[in-house]
Copies of this chain bind each other. A is one copy, B any other.
Amino acid sequence: MSRFEVDEASDEEIARERALYGPFTDAVRGLVDATIRTLADADAVREAQAEIEAITERLTKDQLPGSYGVKFRKADGKGRPWGNAVMGLRNPIAPPVDVRTVEPGRTVADFHLGAAYEGPPGLTHGGVVSLVLDQVLGHTVSSHGRPGMTGQLTISYRQGTPLGDLRAEGWVERSEGVKTWARGHILSPAGEVTAEAEGLFILPRWARNLPDRDVDHFS
Query: What is A's interface to B at a CB cutoff of 8 Å?
Result: 1-4, 20-21, 23-25, 27-28, 30-32, 34-40, 42, 44-46, 48-49, 51-53, 55-56, 58-64, 66-70, 82-86, 88, 90-93, 114-122, 125-128, 130-135, 138, 149-157, 160, 162-163, 204, 217-219
A–B Cβ pairs within 8 angstroms, 9 of them: A24-B49, A31-B31, A37-B68, A44-B58, A52-B55, A70-B121, A84-B125, A127-B131, A154-B154
Please indicate the chain B residues that have their CB under 8 angstroms from the CB of A44 in the complex: 58-59
- In contact, A58 and B35 (Cβ under 8 angstroms): no
Within the complex, the shortest CB–CB distance from A71 to chain B, in Å, comes to 10
The residue that A28 contacts in the complex, of B32, B39, B42, B135, with Cβ under 8 A, is B32
State how many copies of this chain the complex holds.
Answer: 2
Q: How far is the CA of A88 from the CA of B116 in the complex (A)?
A: 9
Interface centre among A128, A153, A204, A219 (most CB of B within 10 A): A153
Distance between Cα atoms of A28 and B3 in the complex (Å): 26
Interfacial chain B residues near A128, Cβ < 8 Å: 85, 131
State in angstroms the CA–CA spacing of A192 and B20 once bound together: 40
> Which listed residue (B20, B39, B49) contacts A62, Cβ 8 A?
B39
State the Cβ distance, A12 to closest chain B Cβ, in Å: 14
Which B residues touch A93, using CB under 8 A? Answer: 32, 93, 116-117
Asked if B23 contacts A49 (CB within 8 A), the reply is yes
3 nearest A-B pairs in the assembled complex, by CB-CB distance? A127-B131, A127-B134, A3-B121
Q: Which residue of B lies closest to A120 (CB)?
A: B218
Bound: A208/B4 CA distance, A: 49
Interface centre among A20, A85, A219 (most CB of B within 10 A): A85
Q: Please name all residues of chain B whose beta carbon is closer than 8 Å to the beta carbon of A82 when the two chains form the complex.
A: 36
Q: Which residues of B contact A219 (CB under 8 A)?
A: 119-120, 125-127
A198 to nearest B CB, angstroms?
Answer: 9
Q: Identify A157's interface contact among B1, B32, B149, CB under 8 A.
A: B149
